[in-house]
């Protein structure tokens, strides 16, 4: 409690506003201190680390199969993508050949996961912009359909632990293909509905256009990735530029924005969902019978010494696994390069000079997952 001295009586002071760690708009435990002059943000200091669980250290004590379950927990909205980075790193390091069917299923699941993650984003973003829960419930409805499918396949709605170094844990159910088509049908409907609810709405446009813009050069300098980077007009998509799985065999567009503002970040994601639907449809055509694990897979997987930085395009951007092995059945060092970690760094640049209400929208537009940031 600081009393006003007579000298300070008439000077307006910067109001410090604490947003988080327990605030309705911070998408998890994240704290940012806003310096506010009237309604305009003059300074932003983000504080992270509330969710730090030391996943990297834990993975050093776990063998490669156990580690998969932990990758889920570093990125709880795009678990398949996180698992994928990890198992790809292990496979490449150990030189394991993965059967074709397993790869295609992995691709389908990863793209479905991208859909579910982006649905989650549009919903949460709608709430940030101020739609009272409607966008949130609609997108959750669609996400739920996808999660139902995931549950039928893996047995869990969120922490799948389904990929294994070498392939998949077990075969997908028999009705997999029909179920995927059902899911795609509902996802298409969901995308359309989200489009008509938000994209053209004048108030939504007024809130998002020109807000939180970041230039392409700045975005690259900050190490941003994923849709947040592409919104600024940098066509960097690891699925195309640093291919993994069978992405070179499918046809899809890399969606980019122009202004790099909040609206572009939203719109890039929405359009990307349509591309994901396209990719999944093509994958379904390639899907054929076959094994899901290589024939000769040792019971306890060991890798030769060496290191690998395996990167994949997760819904939020580049999800990298830096795996250093000195031989043996567990990583010597495992570093998780999370997309949100880099994207969040740019928050200060994007927010300063905007209104308080915009700070919330900008934060929402980066689509942060604090679990991934803090690991």
Partner 1 sequence: MGESLHSLFGDYLAVLLGTVIGFFLVFTALVATRVLAPFSPEREKGTTYECGMLPLRRASTNIGVRFYLYAILFVLFDVEAVFLFPWMLSFVELGAAAYYQMLLFILVLGAGLAYAWKKGALQWR
Partner 2 sequence: MSPEEGAPDAAADDAARDYLETTIWAEVDRALSGITARPVTDEEERSVIDLVVRVPPREVVTALRALRDAQGMNFDYLRSLTAVDYEEEGVDVVYHLYSVETRHNVTVKCRLAADRLVVESATSVWRAANWYEREAQEMFGVRFEGHPDPRNLLLPEEMTDVFPLRKSHPLAEIEVLQGEGIAYEEGEL
Partner 3 sequence: MNGDIFGLEINIWLDALVRLGLAVALMTVVVMALIYLERKVIARFQQRLGPTRTGPAGILQSPADALKLLGKEDLRPKNADPWVFELAPYFVFIPIFLVFVAIPFAFDWQIRVLELGLLYVLAVSSINIVGWVMAGWGSDNRYAMLGALRAAAQGISYELPLVLALVAVAMVVSLPGDVRGSLNLVEIVAEQGHIPYIVWQPLAFAIFYIAMLAELNRTPFDIPVGESEVVGGPFVEYSGIRWSMFFLGEYTALLLLSLRGAAVFLGGWAWPLGEEVADQNAALGLLYQFTLTAAKAGVLIFTIFWVRATMPRLRVDQLMAFSWKVLLPLTFAQIAANGLVLVYGWPDVVLLAASGGGLVLLAVIIDRAVRRPTPRPGLPSGGLEGEAVR
Residues of this chain that interact with partner 1 (CB under 8 A) are 1-2, 4, 9-13, 15-16, 18-23, 31, 33, 37-40, 355
- The label of the residue with tokens 């397993």 reads 102
Q: Is 39 in the site for partner 2 (CB under 8 A)?
A: no
SS (H, E, C) 202-216: HHHHHHHCCCCCCCH
Q: Which is nearer to partner 2, 13 or 296 (CB)?
A: 296
Coil vs helix vs strand at 318: strand
Out of 25, 186, 199, 345, name the contact with partner 2 by CB under 8 A: 345
Q: If residue 36 lies in a helix (H) or strand (E), which one and from where to where?
A: strand 31-37
Residues 40-69 that bind partner 2 (CB under 8 A): 48-49, 52, 54, 56-58, 61
Tell me the closest approach of the beta carbon of residue 365 to partner 2, in angstroms: 19
Residues 6-25 that bind partner 3 (CB under 8 A): 14-18, 23-25
The interface partner of residue 296, options being partner 3, partner 1, partner 2, none and the CB cut-off 5 to 8 Å by kind, is: partner 2
Q: Is 234 in the site for partner 2 (CB under 8 A)?
A: yes
- The label of the residue with tokens 């793209």 reads 111
Taking the chain, what is the end-to-end CA distance rounded to the nearest angstrom? Answer: 36
Coil vs helix vs strand at 268: helix
Site string for partner 2, 282-321 (x = CB under 8 A): --------------xxx-----xxxxxxxx------x-x-
Residues 242-281 that bind partner 2 (CB under 8 A): 242
d(CA 144, CA 134): 15
Cβ neighbours, 10 Å, residue 299: 5
Strand 167-168 and strand 306-314: the pairing is: unpaired
Residue 44, Cβ density class (10 Å: 0-12 exposed, 13-18 middle, ≥19 buried): buried
Q: Is 85 in the site for partner 3 (CB under 8 A)?
A: no
Q: Is 127 in the site for partner 3 (CB under 8 A)?
A: yes
Q: Is 109 in the site for partner 2 (CB under 8 A)?
A: no
Count of residues binding partner 3 (CB under 8 A)? 58
Q: Which is nearer to partner 1, 113 or 351 (CB)?
A: 351
Coil vs helix vs strand at 30: coil
CA distances from 188 to 116, 142, 172 (A): 12, 9, 23
Q: Are 328 and 93 in contact, with CB atoms under 8 Å apart?
A: no
Out of 41, 96, 131, 183, name the contact with partner 2 by CB under 8 A: 96
Q: Is 207 in the site for partner 3 (CB under 8 A)?
A: yes
Binding site for partner 2 (CB under 8 A): 48-49, 52, 54, 56-58, 61, 92-97, 220-223, 234, 236, 241-242, 296-298, 304-311, 318, 320, 322, 324, 326, 332-333, 335, 337, 341-342, 344-345, 374
């Amino acid at each position: 409690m600081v009393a006003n001295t007579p000298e300070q009586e008439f000077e307006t002071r910067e109001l410090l506003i604490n947003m988080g760690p327990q605030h309705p708009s911070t998408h998890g435990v994240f704290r940012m201190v806003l310096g506010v002059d009237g309604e305009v943000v003059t300074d932003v200091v983000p504080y992270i680390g509330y969710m730090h669980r030391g996943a990297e250290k834990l993975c050093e004590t776990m063998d490669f199969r156990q580690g998969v379950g932990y990758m889920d927990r570093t990125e709880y909205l795009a678990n398949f993508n996180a698992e994928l980075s990890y198992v790809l790193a292990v496979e490449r390091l150990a030189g394991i050949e993965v059967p074709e069917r397993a790869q295609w299923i992995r691709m389908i699941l990863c793209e479905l996961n991208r859909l579910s993650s982006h649905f989650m984003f549009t919903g949460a973003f709608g709430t940030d912009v101020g739609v009272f829960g409607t966008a949130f419930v609609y997108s959750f409805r669609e996400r739920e359909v996808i999660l139902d499918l995931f549950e039928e396949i893996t047995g869990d709605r969120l922490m799948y632990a389904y990929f294994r170094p070498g392939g998949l844990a077990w075969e997908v159910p028999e009705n997999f293909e029909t179920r995927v088509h059902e899911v795609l049908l509902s996802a298409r409907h969901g995308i359309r509905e989200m489009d008509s609810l938000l994209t053209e709405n004048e108030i939504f446009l007024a809130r998002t256009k020109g807000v939180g813009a970041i230039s392409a050069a700045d975005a690259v300098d900050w190490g941003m990735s994923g849709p947040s980077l592409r919104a600024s007009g940098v066509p960097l998509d690891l699925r195309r530029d640093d291919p993994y799985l069978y992405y070179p065999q499918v046809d899809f567009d890399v969606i980019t924005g122009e202004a790099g503002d909040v609206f572009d970040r939203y719109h890039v994601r929405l359009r990307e969902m349509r591309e994901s639907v396209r990719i999944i449809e093509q994958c379904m055509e390639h899907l054929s019978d076959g094994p899901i694990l290589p024939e000769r897979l040792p019971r306890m997987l060991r890798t030769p010494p060496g290191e690998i930085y395996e990167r994949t395009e997760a819904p939020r951007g580049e999800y990298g696994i830096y795996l250093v092995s000195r031989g043996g059945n567990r990583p010597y060092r495992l570093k998780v390069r999370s997309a949100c970690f880099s994207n969040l760094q740019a928050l200060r640049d994007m927010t300063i000079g905007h209104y308080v209400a915009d700070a919330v929208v900008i934060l929402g537009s980066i689509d942060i997952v604090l679990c991934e940031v803090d690991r």
